Amino acid sequence: MPVAQSDLALALLDAFPVSGHTSVITRRHVASYPDCTRAEQRAIWELVGDVCARLEAERHPNGFDIAIAAGGATTETVTHCHVDVFPRFPGEPRGRPGGLRKTLPPKAG
């Protein structure tokens, strides 16, 4: 059941929503964000805003990780365009030490 929706996109709670992780997806099957129409891209971001507002009101996170993985060389596990919204709370791990630069060895410094 969608937690938010529009004519072009919808927002769904993760199947195992530990912290309220929500995915915003296109209604039309599109493999990746760059393949979306401009209208679909706008619809996605409008729902991302709605999801963040809903999570703020219900769970009171102190931040969000908002992620897109697009294409085979990424961490993408579902080949349907989606934007993941992860509410973040105090005491949680903060991702990879050093951030993105430490995941890409030639850029580490």
pLDDT digits (tens, 9 = 90+) for 60-103: 999 998 988 766 555 556 677 889 898 998 887 766 555 545 44
**Entry pTM:** 0.79
CATH number of the domain that residue 49 is part of: 3.30.428.10
CA–CA gap between residue 74 and residue 56 (Å, rounded):
29
Q: Identify the three-state secondary structure at position 40.
A: helix
Identify the domain containing residue 100 by its residue range: 4-107
Our count of domains for the chain comes to 1
